[in-house]
Chains A and B, each alone.
Chain A
């Protein structure tokens, strides 16, 4: 890139040489309870142009590592070891000296782009500031470079948007601006701390692509800190797995994914629900939680969760041992893992559920527990403080049809802002929607009286996303679980017995009843939330992103629990999630929502194997798969831009503004897309075509299926065709 030329003609470190070297890094924080040993003995060498991922669960010391390298750690932290950049020691430098290096040689991309950009300066000002701090060039030149950088990271109309303030950017655009700022001075090392965790999958795919472009253009080495193994597989060359502040395994991305030698790595890989998994076996579960790094007992910190642990593991902590070329692992049993070629299924046995015979055909005949008929929810957009007037309408949900049968799980997926949560709230509120009907257990919500509603709430329960926010912090667990029982007039003795039974059902102990929610980990809290939902023996449970706030190893346990409960109690789930891999694992049918409309609905096998709507295809292709070989060979459909505002949706087909198919159409072919939203029709038959093959799209000739939209694989696109994405 020509624009970078004025700043750096030759690199201090040639490609392939070690640019950043961390040796035996220890970071300790003082605390009331004792020293918190956040990082214990981390070493790695990062070569120029290379991407290394640091993976671990929350509290494993990933972020502290990045802050220590950048010199941004709190003053109370005690750091030992060595961090060298271009062979120069960084530890021990003063803050002023570090400021010379930060932003020039070392750059950082933070997780939350809203709080990482200053809200009172324009994006351009902030990039210019980053440039002028390190280079004495004129403001107009720096400004020009800012525009070039924004163009590089894919911001449309960069010469106009450079004058925008951060709040005028969407989340994905802010993250792009952050990347632009980070690469402004052509750094040698970029540290990206969970750069896409706060973003939707389609936006995540865009941002990861930008990051790859930025790395290619600057030749910088990247340290990618993440918990998402799919992102790791797609982005990195080497991987460091951290557990309780210690690196437990390091190696090339292929070694880690295909020949892991440490049980924690193996368990983590087995616990991720996979988008491309065809069988629905229970996920590997690592029992327990990551340990607290205060007062760690001697021995391997993974012992309490490790099925391979023996007495030797409790006595001495294993050192990193070379187990292959450029592959080290810290486990006493790594040799046994290799010789017996142990997999996650061997190490972490999961109960195999007794298969319940349920044919899809049978399900259709079963009782319908929930149905939405052309349900609409519009919110007025008001303006003015004294004289409030309506200035518009937010079309949050704009006419959807859904049917849920007894014993079935229906997944509802889509980007944030597509109306999934509004749909859930409308069902739970048991009010009449703006238009259309909501029928729960055969009763239309519009005609319900107060007593009817109360009776129906017994059968309709909810599990929320954030297990901390959904449990009243002032109430002991017993009272939380007993609350629905009290509302519906259970006697004291019956309540007591029922709560204890529920605690056991969700895998908690009776002794936990006295404790407050804050004494529990995220996974346990979510179990309490599930116990509360189960208390009244409901028939339908609505789950709003129940696992998205949990760590991977904890998430698997909760998913398995939900699955088991469903089979035992013949529950119906309406499962809202943005993670399509989780949906594939748990759901029978899946509905894809876009801007308040359902664009595709069908059985999980059909929708995942033969996605016919371009949006579904883009969503599926955007999700990273934790498999490096697959990731390398995959092509992605990148959607342009962000979700349009539901207050001002595009005319005609709502997806046309971002539709990759629409772009390839002739003006004549585009006419129907511009005129009206396509109806849901049976998805066209035929073998799915490859993603790369273009060809002229054909107008869909199928019609609305006879038995209504719930029976079939239906899609709302004039030019729908099945595509092989996975």
Chain B
């Protein structure tokens, strides 16, 4: 029974980390209409920042040995690192139309991935960074993971509160106005480029923080762990399934899609040998199918966007 509880805790922790990512993407896409297909890059920068600042050097490790800070000092810097990566990218490419931004972000994510794979002196190259401490590990088996889940939940709650406040503020209304009708927003004296940049940077900070939580959960970060399917594609599916533009929808989508992802793995495991292999290839297909069905029959997601004041 204790093991089953621990498994549920693991699932919920990962769902929570994805919720932080999805909240970041919701700020960019849901609220502002920025098509960011490079979540992977911001996750990677946050993850490596926190990993290098906190890791205790393992024997034979090639990466830069950091100062060994505690997690609570490193996590905010991971968010700052995500924001700092977004700032120049946004400043250059946000003037582009939406689809060009999408291509630019894919390119950035790929550059970041190749950078961490090849700059051994900093990131340890393909060997990655191990020896990343997980907060509350000292509490032992049942309570350590539970405490980490509570920490992730607290971070998600904080991000949610901030995202809600943003969405309801005049700032959030301006973002929506720019998303829905840029010319009208300009006509009332708003500068779209500046507002877009702020939303892009804030969203990237959320992604950097999510990356840090991911690295400390796995206690390991390497280039093979940075997979566009799980770090970018899945996040988009979560946001669209949950309801883009709605912060609660973003969180719900993250939890529901992650549960489907985990359940398909579990179902595949119940099948006998050869079938299990084939089922593994079916997972991506199922997620894609779910996305298509949602777009066809429930285009606004599980919970659609609700405009403030509208009932």
A and B are interacting partners: no
